[in-house]
């Protein structure tokens, strides 16, 4: 039995996501409840927190904002701290708005420029250099947004620098732990920022004077020494009261082992390459390592959490600027797929109603990281053209599989151009993640980009063998990617497997009322059927849909009262989308919600 609700969306019109009336089941494990508030994870702003523009009225879909402190402001004079001004007043406003926050102190870079007449100070207190800390000079560099800057840094290994740095961290911890409980509870975690801003490296570039070079061994020792100070600073009665987050890109085996051994209850990572968009080079190995570490943390009974930020590239480069709402939507799906629990987005983007679907989506799934405790499972359909894959794209046909072989990317995309694939800026595809994010338009082939769907707890069975990818269907948020049938080549059945741990009940027991959502392209001619593993049939037909051929995406919601979802279909399928005609219907997303109230 199933009950059906149709929700139709018009093309080109801002989409209001529909929240169904359902029973809120608390699906959080005991440890997560102990470490973090139940509703903590989701979208947070990025940049300076200003309650005049970041508040429930203007940014209704955020969970909070970071508290980013500049050491120069925090300690403007030697030993004189501005904690009340820079921290307490913000926490009081955050508490009033029911927002959470994170703490991070930027210690460097020190200045934007140094001239005979003027010095433009940035994050390091100027008085520090009067104590003898060297101010290290660097040649001009170009930042990720294309601006050329000449910056100066402190020499971190100087004994005076370390003394004052550690003193500041200890005073910060002492202050925060002695705040009133309602304010202290607003702080989710502290991010260690040992070097340049929140990155894990000491410098941006290489010092002009080589005597200030810092080896990887020296930097590793400095970082771990900093973490020890932070753990001590934020501990009370021998217990770490506020969790610590470190930077993934700078961590190696030694750092990971230290965190696993020394951080109790929770371990956090910042992973910027999961948050700056999608189609990021070298993502496969990065994600595999990330998941491996997460599993090790959870195997110890600890809570794993992760954050990343979207910078101003969303309004700077063509891949997003030409359609910001769409760019943010697929960035949200990518960040979710990769396992971020917190996504920091520039506050300006958080005020635009056109972007709200991206934030609603990320908030919906951010905390749903473990199948057994998750309320939702989803699969967003797409195909990634991985130029490093010589099985799918043989060198004899597409060219030598070398990362810098620009023509190979073009050849691969051209092979799928009839399905909408394109390469607008192939020179950016052959670079790393920081180069990828500068692309002027859509690049649909990349190097070791994720090749399949973006998903959580719901996977498509043999996606390339049973369906075909589509690109750039329309300018709606959904239209960037899709998958569909390929009738001419006998691809008429798209099957999905729900994680076996999604339901706690015994496999032979009918599940509580389950809601299934399907977003599909109404503009395709043809018809299709949804089937599911029910209590009385291996694959029971839930509904057959005949598309109207009107150029828009539609959302179908069904409530299944007799779902078993125990791999009863062919190849262990729980759900099947089946072609009922001779054309190629296309789909964006399929979602399962458990514990839905029966109407």
Q: How far is the C-alpha of 404 from the C-alpha of 391, rounded, in Å?
A: 19
Decide if 575 contacts 510 (C-beta within 8 A): no
CATH among 3.20.20.80, 1.10.1740.10, 3.30.479.30, 2.60.40.720 for 28-367: 3.20.20.80
- Average confidence (pLDDT) over 293-318: 95
Structure confidence at residue 116 (pLDDT): 72
- Average confidence (pLDDT) over 302-322: 95
Q: How far is the C-alpha of 513 from the C-alpha of 557, rounded, in Å?
A: 13
Sequence ranges of the domains in the chain? 28-367, 385-448
Q: How far is the C-alpha of 370 from the C-alpha of 347, rounded, in Å?
A: 29
With bands split at pLDDT 50, 70 and 90, how would you rate the model's confidence at 197?
confident
Residue pLDDT, tens place only, 359-410: 999 999 999 999 999 999 999 999 999 999 999 999 999 999 999 999 999 9
User: How many other C-beta atoms lie within 10 A of the C-beta of residue 17?
Assistant: 14
With bands split at pLDDT 50, 70 and 90, how would you rate the model's confidence at 198?
confident
Report DSSP letters for 429-450, one per residue.
HTS-HHHHTT-SS-B-EESS--
- Average confidence (pLDDT) over 188-197: 95
User: 410: which 2 tokens?
Assistant: 């073009």
Structure confidence at residue 30 (pLDDT): 36
pTM to 2 decimal places: 0.92
CA angle (191 as vertex; 186, 194 as ends), nearest 5: 150
Taking the C-alpha atoms of 410, 385, 399 and 397 in order, what is their torsion angle to the nearest 10 degrees? -100
* Of 288, 306, 51, 313, nearest in space to 188 by CA: 306
Q: How far is the C-alpha of 541 from the C-alpha of 532, rounded, in Å?
A: 7
479: helix, coil or strand?
helix
Structure confidence at residue 10 (pLDDT): 38
High-pLDDT (> 90) share of the chain, %:
84
- Average confidence (pLDDT) over 564-585: 95
- Worst-scoring range by mean pLDDT, 49-63, 129-143, 449-463? 129-143
Q: How far is the C-alpha of 532 from the C-alpha of 496, rounded, in Å?
A: 10
* Of 86, 112, 115, nearest in space to 101 by CA: 86
Q: Which residue has the higher pLDDT, 189 or 313?
A: 189
Q: How far is the C-alpha of 121 from the C-alpha of 449, rounded, in Å?
A: 39
Residue pLDDT, tens place only, 117-159: 778 889 999 999 999 999 999 988 776 667 777 889 999 999 9
Structure confidence at residue 141 (pLDDT): 76
Res. 190: pLDDT tops 50: yes
User: 138: which 2 tokens?
Assistant: 């660097």
Structure confidence at residue 61 (pLDDT): 98
Structure confidence at residue 33 (pLDDT): 46
Beta-strand runs (E) in 356-457? 376-380, 385-386, 445-446, 454-456
* Of 318, 323, 316, 317, nearest in space to 358 by CA: 323
Residues 6+ apart with CB under 8 A from 95: 182, 183, 186
Res. 507: pLDDT tops 90: no
Residue pLDDT, tens place only, 547-567: 999 999 999 999 999 999 999
Res. 219: pLDDT tops 80: yes
With bands split at pLDDT 50, 70 and 90, how would you rate the model's confidence at 539?
very high
Q: How far is the C-alpha of 263 from the C-alpha of 241, rounded, in Å?
A: 11
Structure confidence at residue 16 (pLDDT): 31
Q: How far is the C-alpha of 587 from the C-alpha of 398, rounded, in Å?
A: 28
- Average confidence (pLDDT) over 236-262: 94
Averaged pLDDT of the chain: 91
Decide if 293 contacts 256 (C-beta within 8 A): yes
Residue pLDDT, tens place only, 169-185: 999 999 999 999 999 99
- Average confidence (pLDDT) over 45-59: 95
Buried b (16+ CB within 10 A) or exposed e, 497-532: bbbeebbeeeeeebbbbbbbbbbbbbbbebbbbbbb
* Of 161, 164, 153, nearest in space to 80 by CA: 164
With bands split at pLDDT 50, 70 and 90, how would you rate the model's confidence at 26?
very low
Q: How far is the C-alpha of 552 from the C-alpha of 589, rounded, in Å?
A: 14
Res. 20: pLDDT tops 60: no
Residue pLDDT, tens place only, 86-121: 999 999 999 999 999 999 999 999 987 777 777 888
User: How many other C-beta atoms lie within 10 A of the C-beta of residue 78?
Assistant: 12
Res. 581: pLDDT tops 60: yes
Structure confidence at residue 410 (pLDDT): 98
Structure confidence at residue 34 (pLDDT): 75
């Amino acid at each position: 039995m199933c009950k059906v609700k149709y929700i139709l969306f018009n093309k080109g019109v801002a989409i209001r996501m529909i929240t169904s009336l359902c029973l809120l089941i608390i699906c959080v494990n005991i440890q997560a409840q102990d470490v973090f508030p139940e509703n903590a994870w989701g979208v947070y702003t990025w940049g300076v927190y200003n309650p005049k523009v970041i508040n429930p009225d203007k940014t209704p879909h955020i969970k909070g904002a970071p508290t980013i402190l500049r050491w120069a402001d925090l300690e403007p004079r030697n030993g004189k701290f501005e904690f009340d001004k820079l921290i307490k007043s913000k926490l009081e406003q955050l508490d009033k708005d029911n927002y959470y926050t994170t703490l991070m102190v930027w210690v460097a870079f020190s200045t934007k420029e140094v001239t005979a007449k003027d010095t433009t100070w940035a994050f390091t207190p100027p008085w520090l250099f009067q104590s003898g800390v060297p101010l290290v000079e660097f040649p001009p560099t170009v930042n990720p947004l294309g601006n050329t800057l000449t910056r100066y840094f402190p020499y971190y290994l100087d004994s005076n620098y370390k003394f004052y740095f550690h003193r500041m961290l200890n005073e910060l911890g002492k202050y925060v732990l002695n705040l009133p409980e309602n304010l202290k509870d607003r702080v989710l975690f502290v991010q260690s920022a040992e070097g340049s801003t929140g990155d894990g490296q000491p410098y941006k570039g290489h010092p002009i004077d080589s005597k200030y070079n810092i080896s990887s061994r020296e930097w590793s020792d400095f970082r771990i020494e900093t973490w020890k100070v932070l753990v001590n600073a934020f501990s009370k009665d021998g217990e770490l009261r506020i969790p610590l987050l470190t930077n993934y890109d700078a961590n190696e085996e030694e750092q990971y082992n230290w965190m696993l051994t020394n951080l109790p209850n929770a371990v956090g990572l910042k992973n910027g390459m999961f948050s700056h968009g999608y189609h990021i080079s070298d993502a496969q190995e990065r994600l595999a390592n990330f998941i491996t570490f997460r599993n090790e943390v959870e195997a110890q009974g600890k809570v794993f959490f992760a954050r990343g930020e979207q910078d101003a590239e969303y309004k700077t480069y063509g891949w997003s600027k030409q359609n910001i709402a769409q760019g943010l939507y697929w960035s949200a799906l990518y960040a979710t797929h990769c396992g971020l629990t917190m996504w920091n987005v520039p506050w300006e983007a958080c005020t635009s109603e056109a972007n709200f679907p991206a934030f609603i989506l990320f908030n919906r799934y951010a905390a749903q990281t473990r199948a057994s405790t998750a309320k939702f499972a989803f699969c967003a359909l797409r195909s990634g053209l991985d130029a490093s894959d010589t099985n799918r794209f043989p060198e004899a046909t597409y060219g030598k599989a070398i990362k810098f072989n620009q023509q190979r990317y073009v050849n691969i995309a051209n092979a799928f151009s009839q399905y909408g694939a394109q390469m607008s800026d192939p020179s950016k595809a052959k670079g790393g993640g920081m180069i990828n994010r500068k692309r002027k338009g859509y690049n649909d082939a990349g190097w070791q980009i994720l090749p399949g769907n973006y998903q959580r707890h719901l996977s498509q069975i043999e996606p390339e063998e049973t369906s075909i990818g589509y690109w750039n269907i329309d300018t709606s948020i959904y239209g960037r990617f899709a998958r569909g049938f390929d009738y001419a080549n006998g691809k008429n059945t798209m099957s999905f497997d729900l994680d076996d741990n999604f339901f706690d009940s015994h496999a032979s027991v009918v599940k509580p009322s389950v809601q299934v959502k399907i977003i599909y392209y109404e503009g395709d001619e043809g018809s299709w059927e949804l089937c599911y593993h029910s209590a009385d049939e291996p694959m029971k037909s839930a509904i057959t849909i005949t598309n109207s051929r009107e150029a828009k995406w539609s959302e179908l919601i069904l409530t299944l009262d007799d779902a078993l979802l125990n791999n009863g279909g062919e190849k262990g399928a729980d759900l099947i989308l089946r072609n009922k005609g001779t054309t190629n219907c296309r789909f964006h997303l399929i979602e399962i919600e458990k514990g839905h109230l029966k109407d």
